[in-house]
Structure 1
Amino acid sequence: MRLSFLQPLYAEPGPFTSVYLDTSRDIEDPERAIALRWRRLRDELARQGADRASITAAERVVGADAELPGMHGQAIFTADGALVLDGELPAPPAHDSARYGMLPDAMPLVVQHLPEIPYLAVVVHYGGLPTAGTEGTVTVAAEGGTWPVSSVAPGERRRRRVPVAQWHDAAARLGHELDARARHEGADAVVVGGDKWACSVLVRRLPERLRTRVVRVGGPTPTDTGRALLEAQLEDVFRGCMAEHDRALVEIFVARRARDGATAEGLAAAVAALQRGQVTALLFNPHTGSRRLLWVGPRPTQVALTEAELTSFGVRAPREEPADEALVRALVATAAELVVVPESALRLRDGVGALLRYTDAGTP
């Protein structure tokens, strides 16, 4: 998973307010409910010592996603009285939360982006047989996205209407267009729903490379919900999956580790590699770092297991911070990726491993 979307967070020195808030609109009087939730979080930030200007900056954007229907949430980050990042969450946070600290609490936002699977969704509706004086039509809607974030931030949607009599020929041309779009967007899968006959015609005429990536789905296929195309079906298709890109990184890690290649495993080794900017991708078993603390300095790569280690590097007044926050900051600063991999797929020592850009004699 690439973390470049977090770069605005680390362009500021902090301290930060980090707010995760349920802003769903699927209840009666949602604005009142959101205001009550925010009031509790605002009071919590004040108790933690957050400055009034930063709290006010967050308050200005609370609930600003009113046009978005259904269940969702907001992740809001402010610093020094200014909004730094306002991110939509495809699902409400498990618990509303507010934190004031020197580092932003970014890991919950990262988790909501997982598994970050690129896809192309296609819905084909058949208008029925031609009747006297009326020609039936096939309507096609196609939309790219990255699941699950596309639920609240869908990609460009394109539509095409074709007379039924021309559908067989038009499906072949459309298949090549869809193939080009899937290639451009790096789609792992093409999820197709709608009328069975019309879908079958289209799928049979897709180029072979794309046809092997097709997943047919059933159920309702509305195209005007204000949410992602085939949103309900995407959950069933992608739940428990990893993106192909991330799976490839895991396979590279396993292969390199087997021959003592450019990898590091265990928290100490991974932190040492981050200090040197050696990490291409950090592999992370979920739920392994939530209670850990690391020592950090003002620079992102100033991260260590002990205070003495940072002091020996000349860092003045190092401080302890949650490991998740320290690791994400270092990854963003060094343009490294994060791969969250279930223990069932790969169990890592201390829940942490790393693919390295290079090795040297100082690498543990």
Structure 2
Amino acid sequence: MDLDFLQPLYQGEGPVVSVHLDTSRSAHDADKQIELRWRAARRSLAGQGADEETLAALDQVVGGVAEVPGPQGEALFASAGKLLGAFTLTEPPAAGSARVLPVPDPLGLVIDRDHQLPHVVVAVDREGGDVDAYPAAALEPSLQRSFHGSTLHISRVRAGAEAQASFHRRAVNVWAENTRQAAADVREAAAGVDAAVILVAGDPKAVGLLREHLTAQPPVGDVVYVDGGRTDASARAGLRASVDMAMRDAMTARHRHVLDAMEDELAGGRALQGIPAVKEALAQGRVDTLLLAADRSGDPDLYASRRDPRVLGTDPAALADDPTAFRAPAAPLLLRAAALGGAAFTEILPPARATDGVAALLRY
């Protein structure tokens, strides 16, 4: 995953407030629960030295997206009275966090983004199809198509033999034309978001016809067939559940591919693990992909420079001549060095392991 979206968070030079908050709206009193969580986080931040102007800037934006029902979270970053970034999380954080550090602490945001893939959701039936294309981590589709071709004689009818055959041919012809149009929409939508996965559901006959079109002219991305449809609320709910499950499977498979590559590259000397080795590679600009485990409870502090974000040290003596030197936990500093050094990111998913929960795939 590209880390360019983090760069605005590093524009300030003072302490940065980082908040990861559960803003789910599943409960009837969700607004009150969110208010209480923020109030507790605000008290913690004030106790850590956050200034009132910065907290007031967060007051203006905290609360998540009211229009999005169900589970969600948000990540907020502010410094010197200014909001640096506000991001909606597709899942609430496992544990809320509120920190004041010399640099942002975006690990929760990065892991949430790393779990998302650009994808297309397709639901088809005899009358047409719905095609929604989602960029990675988007809550709303960037492209929507709903096709309702001619419904004349769309259902097979009882009639005389000759008339019945004619009606049946017309029904099948309209059905085939609808799925042909849906296939064209799918290809366009998938190309528009560079889809990793295309999830297809609906009427079995329509899905079968769509499969033929997509096999003959494949779209960008892997096509996965799931349950659900577009006919009613129950079908749409089933589609949402099966899409969520298929997306988790696709995300896990993609991570396993990177983690398998890490094992191979470690054996061949084209990857490193452990904080000391990885921080040196970041300083040299050699890191192509930074890999971190989500559990950072055992992280040490490192020393860093505001002059060069890639320079990290385990000993303050390494930066003794740098008046901009400061100390912070390892994970935020490793992410800062990776983001500003043009490196990508992948989470180390269990059961995969690396020394210190840190590894890197190298450019050279």
| TM-score, normalised relative to structure 1 | 0.83
Does 98-107 or 291-300 show the bigger shift?
A: 291-300
Q: Does 1:23 align with 2:23?
A: yes
How far off is 1:91 after superposition? Answer: 1.5
Alpha-carbon separation, structure 2, partners of 1:355 and 1:97: 29
Structure 1 match to 2:162: none
Matched residue type, 2:133? G
> Which moves more between the two structures, 334-343 or 229-238?
229-238
Partner residue of 1:157 out of 144, 148, 166: 144
Amino acid in the other structure paired with 1:179 = R
Is the Cα contact below 8 Å between 1:140 and 1:159 reproduced in 2? yes
Alignment of 1:144-293 (within 5 A): 144-146=133-135, 149-150=137-138, 152-163=139-150, 164=154, 165=171, 166-208=174-216, 209-210=218-219, 213-219=222-228, 221=230, 230-242=239-251, 249-250=258-259, 253-260=262-269, 262-287=270-295, 291-293=299-301
SS of 2:132's equivalent in the other structure is strand
In 1, Cα distance between the equivalents of 2:276 and 2:288? Answer: 17
Cα–Cα, structure 1 residues 229 and 323, in superposed 2: closer, same or farther, change >3 Å?
farther
Structure 1 CA distance for aligned equivalents of residues 23 and 231 of structure 2? 23
Deviation at 1:2, TM superposition (A): 0.8
Secondary structure at the aligned position of 1:280 is classed as strand
Contact 1:188 1:244 in 2 (8 A): no
How far apart are 1:238 and its partner, in Å? Answer: 2.6
Give the Å deviation of 1:9.
Answer: 0.4
Contact 1:203 1:211 in 2 (8 A): no
Equivalent residue, structure 2, for 1:134: none
The structural deviation recorded for 1:173 is 4.1
**Matched residue, 1:142:** 131
1:329 has 2:316 as partner: no
Aligned equivalents of 2:26, 2:274: Cα separation in 1: 43
Q: What is the deviation of 1:256?
A: 4.2
User: For residues 92 and 356 of structure 2, what CA distance do their matches in structure 1 show?
Assistant: 29
* TM-score, scaled relative to structure 2: 0.83
How much does 1:109 deviate? 0.8
- Whether the 8 Å contact between 1:223 and 1:229 is mirrored in structure 2 is no
> Against the structure 1 CA distance between its residues 91 and 16, is the aligned structure 2 distance closer, same or farther, given a 3 Å change threshold?
same
Does 1:123 pair with 2:123? yes
Give the SS at the match of 1:100.
Answer: strand
Q: 1-side partners of 2:293 and 2:130: how far apart?
A: 37
**Secondary structure, aligned partner of 2:24:** coil
Distance in 2 (CA, whole Å) between partners of 1:288 and 1:32 is 31
1:155-208 C-alpha deviation (Å, 9 max, x unpaired): 322211113431203323432442243234222221112222222221222134
The CA distance in 1 between the partners of 2:237 and 2:78, in whole Å, is: 28
SS at match of 1:21: strand
* Counterpart-to-counterpart distance in 2, 1:304 and 1:91: 34
Give the deviation of 1:52 after TM superposition.
Answer: 0.4
Change (3 A) 1:20 1:286: closer
- SS of residue in 2 equivalent to 1:142: strand
Equivalents in 2 of 1:223, 1:14: separation in Å? 53
CA RMSD of aligned residues (A): 2.9
Change (3 A) 1:182 1:71: same
Letter in 1 for 2:288: T
**Is the 2:196–2:221 contact (alpha carbons within 8 Å) kept by the matching residues of 1?**
no
Rg bigger for which structure?
2
Change (3 A) 1:304 1:75: same
Equivalent residue for 1:319, pick from 326, 346, 358: 326
Q: Which is worse superposed, 49-58 or 62-71? A: 62-71
Give the whole-Å Cα distance in 1 for the aligned partners of 2:334 and 2:232. Answer: 40
Identity score, percent: 32
The answer on whether the counterparts of 2:197 and 2:250 sit within 8 Å (CA) in structure 1 is: no
Q: Using the TM superposition, name which of 296-305 and 168-177 deviates more.
A: 168-177
Q: Which amino acid in 1 is paired with 2:361? A: L
Q: Residue 336 of structure 1 aligns to which amino acid in structure 2? A: A
- Residue matched to 2:68: 68
Question: How far does residue 258 in structure 1 lie from its aligned partner after superposition?
Answer: 3.8
- Name 2:80's counterpart in structure 1: 80
- Number of equivalences: 340
Tell whether the 8 Å contact from 1:290 to 1:324 is kept in structure 2 after alignment: no
- Aligned equivalents of 1:60, 1:212: Cα separation in 2: 39
Find the aligned partners of 2:65 and 2:59 in 1 and give their Cα distance: 13
